Amino acid sequence: MIKSTAKTALLASTLLGATAAMAETTLTIESWRNDDLALWQSQIIPAFEAEHPDINVVFAPSSPAEYNAVLNSKLDAGSAGDLITCRPFDASLALYDAGQLADLSDLSGMDNFSDVAKSAWQTDDGAATFCVPMASVIHGFIYNKEAFDELGLAAPETEAEFFAALDAIQADGNYIPLAMGTNDQWEAATMGYNNIGPNYWNGEEGRLALIAGDQSLTDEQWVAPYRTLARWGAYMGDGYEAQTYPDSQNLFTLGRAAVYPAGSWEISGFNGLADFEMGAFRPPVQNAGDECYISDHTDIALGLNAASPNAEAGRIFLDWVGSSEFASLYANALPGFFSLSNHAVDMEDPLAQEFVSWRGDCHSTIRSTYQILSRGTPNLETETWNASVAAIKGTETPEDAGARLQEGLASWYEPQQ
């Protein structure tokens, strides 16, 4: 008798538990940001679940290098999570075209984002948006404030001041003026060409004209950045040709270099490593008072798996990703990853504040090669790495580099033919 009562009680509790579980929906997030696991579990997910107790959220990241391959096979096999972290441009567009990402154009949270912010996760005609923008990274220069104070230098605003400062640092001899190497190639293009370039091609104006075919890579505004990069080589450390990306990071955080051409994602890492005060200045303009343009690159977004059985709950979560609460949570937990929304976000990190303040003074644009133009072979992004390195080393003239890139682009991109 007692036994059977116990059995019934057990059975009843299981049933109750099952009904409770049925009322709850569990959302799984696919991501490559395994560095952020703790942040999602301790801050973001509890904040969301407090508002929506009926929805459970699980953050399930894989390693960055494997993410695209893992995600694609999971999507094909039908075992992918409900929410998909989106890479910018073609990788995600291919998923949308294959019907694996849902169209989110009608999501109300989308109204909180500008067109530039959404451009990385839209079809070419802008008709459909399939991921909610989460964060961007801004390019500029991080500098060693103590070194600048020692030499009586101020953060440069114009190109002339920039090179004058580098000259002064070099003449002093205590610091390597610029912490950058060409061994890994991408820094030359990402932190070099696409960092200083927008000031030459006027940001979005030039980038869109290039996509439309109205400007070409042999035009002065696209060649001139290479000419400036060619002057950088003299200020980089001995043997910069074999200097890797981690080498440059260490060189700067150990206090051996004065200026680091940067992306804002470095901020949290540098904060932990550098024991001197850091400052940041934006890419220098030609003449004082010129309009300035910064690379405010759309980097990460969140989309909805088209095959997800929990689409309703998924949309609720995505709406929340577009809210000001999420924007401020994310931006403060990860200084250097800036919210793409139109909400005003207060950040505590001074370096991150400096970076994001440029949005108010300058026009934002994204890296010139990322949208559409790197779709063919030869790949314009990779070619730009190569050309930027060649410019710094002086192994190819800026004009030749421009002509080579234009020839490669025109070989497959119709508007440029």
Partner 1 sequence: MQFPRIKWHIVVFLAPAVLVYSAIMIFPLFNTLRLALYTEVDQTRLFVGLENFRTLFGDPLWSDAFWNALWNNMVFFVVHMLVQNPVGILLAALLSHPKLRMAAFYRTAIFIPTILSFVIVGFAWKLILSPLWGIAPDLLDVVGLKSLFQPWLGREGTALLTLSLISVWQFVGIPMMLTYAALLSIPDEILEAGECDGITGFSAFWKIKLPLILPSIGIISVLTFVANFNAFDLIYTTQGALAGPDFSTDILGTMMYRTFFGFQLQLGDPHMGSAIASGMFAVILIGVCVYLFGIQTRLRRYQF
Size of the site for partner 1 (CB under 8 A): 39
Among 389, 401, 405, 409, binds partner 1 (CB under 8 A): 389
Burial class (CB in 10 A: 0-12, 13-18, 19+), 378: middle
244 lies in the binding site for partner 1 (CB under 8 A): yes
398 lies in the binding site for partner 1 (CB under 8 A): no
Residue 236, phi-psi category: left (phi > 0), alpha (psi -120 to 50), beta (remainder): beta
Closest to partner 1 by CB, 186 or 213: 186
**Smallest distance from the beta carbon of 250 to partner 1, in angstroms?**
8
Closest to partner 1 by CB, 9 or 91: 91
**Smallest distance from the beta carbon of 237 to partner 1, in angstroms?**
7
Among 49, 76, 167, 241, binds partner 1 (CB under 8 A): 241
**Smallest distance from the beta carbon of 334 to partner 1, in angstroms?**
23
Q: Tell me the per-residue interface mask from 347 to 386 with partner 1, x by CB under 8 A, - otherwise.
A: ----------------------xx---x--xxx-xx--xx
Contact between 292 and 282 under an 8 Å Cβ cutoff? The reply is yes
**Smallest distance from the beta carbon of 241 to partner 1, in angstroms?**
3
Among 134, 318, 390, 409, binds partner 1 (CB under 8 A): 390
Among 247, 266, 299, 354, binds partner 1 (CB under 8 A): 247
Q: Tell me the per-residue interface mask from 165 to 194 with partner 1, x by CB under 8 A, - otherwise.
A: ----------------xxxxxx--------
Contacting positions for partner 1 (CB under 8 A): 69, 89-91, 94, 97-98, 181-186, 237-244, 247, 251, 369-370, 374, 377-379, 381-382, 385-386, 389-390, 393, 395, 408, 411
